[in-house]
């Protein structure tokens, strides 16, 4: 378990700038040198020092961790290689995408050793940094901006043909309900399935884009907020109002808060 945690605790905190431009015509077997200020560290450790004038070779790949004044581990890149990424989409045939591949040799004080861990860093956005610490408000703002970008982007309609003049009081199921409907013969009927946060995030953005866009455009969709923030919103509004919150861990589960005329 400790080795498994160490394996996934290695992260890349800084990307090299303009690798695509400088390695556009390079091949895997060629050696090349250029400047960069990339760094790598393990989770829960600091990386306050930056090498503004490092250089590396394309082959062979190697990364060596060094102790920095009891402030965590830091890897300095000596030799690396650039590998061309396989084209996955037809619209990206004309574009050249490269990723940095390197191996790691890491040993902890308890004797745990990690050898041969390969990290593939796809170079797309130069000079993108991961700060050492991020406040909760900054994280919420970043998620809010990402959510707004997804909602504002037109999504392809995957629904079937619309029913013209449906009959009233029928058992017709809406497309949004079909996505989350459980089988009647299932043993888990009535239970909610827990989902990863990123899966819930994009699914919720898709729902807002497809079914709640008019409410989003009118400013009725507030965005990301905690339970305390939603209760404060209800207190600040003088009139009676209904507030609906989507669950942050389950599909299609909502929480409804009501403020009546008496303020209760």
> Helix, strand or coil for residue 175?
helix
Is residue 128 in some structural domain? Answer: no
Q: Where are the alpha helices (DSSP H) in the chain?
A: 2-7, 19-22, 136-152, 175-178, 197-211, 213-217, 227-236
Is residue 46 in some structural domain? Answer: yes
Is 117 found in the same domain as 193? no
> What value does the mean pLDDT of the chain take?
56
Binned at pLDDT 50, 70 and 90, residue 37 comes out as very low
Binned at pLDDT 50, 70 and 90, residue 102 comes out as low
Structural tokens at position 221: 């969709």
Distance CA 165, CA 155 (A): 25
pLDDT tens for 44-62 read 544 443 333 333 333 334 4
Mean pLDDT of 78-89: 45
pLDDT tens for 187-215 read 555 555 556 666 777 777 777 778 777 87
Cβ 45 vs Cβ 37: under 8 Å: no
Is 12 found in the same domain as 106? yes
Is residue 153 in some structural domain? Answer: yes
What domain range is 52 assigned to? Answer: 2-123
Is 223 found in the same domain as 181? yes
Is 102 found in the same domain as 192? no
Is residue 114 in some structural domain? Answer: yes
Residue ending a domain, choose from 71, 97, 123: 123
pLDDT of 110 over the 60 cut: yes
Q: Which of 51-65, 103-117, 243-257 has the lowest mean pLDDT?
A: 51-65
Torsion sign, CA atoms 26, 31, 36, 37: positive
**Cα distances (angstroms) measured from residue 103 to each of 46, 60, 107:** 21, 9, 14
Is residue 13 in some structural domain? Answer: yes
pTM strictly above 0.75: no
Is 107 found in the same domain as 148? no
Is 114 found in the same domain as 10? yes
> Helix, strand or coil for residue 19?
helix
Is 77 found in the same domain as 34? yes
Residue with tokens 């590998």: 83
Is residue 131 in some structural domain? Answer: no
Is 30 found in the same domain as 108? yes
Is residue 264 in some structural domain? Answer: no
Is 19 found in the same domain as 104? yes
Is 74 found in the same domain as 24? yes
Is residue 101 in some structural domain? Answer: yes
Binned at pLDDT 50, 70 and 90, residue 75 comes out as very low
Is 112 found in the same domain as 12? yes
Instruction: Provide the domain count of the chain.
Output: 2
Is 242 found in the same domain as 148? yes
């Amino acid at each position: 378990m400790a080795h498994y945690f160490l394996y996934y605790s290695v992260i890349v905190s800084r990307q090299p700038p303009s690798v695509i431009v400088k390695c556009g015509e390079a091949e895997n077997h060629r050696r090349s040198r250029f400047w960069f200020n990339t760094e790598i560290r393990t989770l829960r450790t600091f990386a306050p020092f930056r090498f503004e004038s490092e250089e590396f070779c394309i082959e062979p790949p190697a990364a060596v961790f060094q102790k920095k004044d009891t402030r965590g581990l830091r890897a300095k890149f000596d030799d690396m290689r650039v590998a061309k990424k396989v084209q996955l989409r037809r619209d990206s045939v004309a574009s050249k995408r490269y990723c940095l591949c390197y191996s790691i040799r890491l040993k902890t004080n308890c004797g745990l050793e990690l050898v041969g861990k390969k990290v593939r860093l796809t170079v797309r956005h130069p000079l993108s940094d991961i700060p050492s610490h991020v406040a909760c408000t900054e994280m919420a703002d970043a998620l809010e901006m990402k959510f707004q970008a997804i909602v504002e982007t037109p999504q392809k309609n995957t629904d079937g043909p619309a029913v013209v003049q449906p009959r009233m009081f029928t058992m017709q199921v809406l497309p949004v309900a079909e996505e989350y409907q459980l089988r009647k013969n299932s043993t888990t009927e009535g239970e909610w399935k827990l989902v990863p946060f990123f899966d819930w995030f994009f699914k919720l953005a898709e729902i807002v884009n497809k079914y709640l866009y008019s409410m989003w455009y009118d400013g009725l969709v507030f965005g990301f907020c905690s339970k305390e923030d939603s209760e404060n919103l209800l207190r600040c509004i003088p009139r009676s109002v209904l507030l609906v919150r989507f669950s942050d861990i389950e599909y299609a589960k909502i929480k409804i808060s009501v403020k009546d005329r008496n303020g209760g």
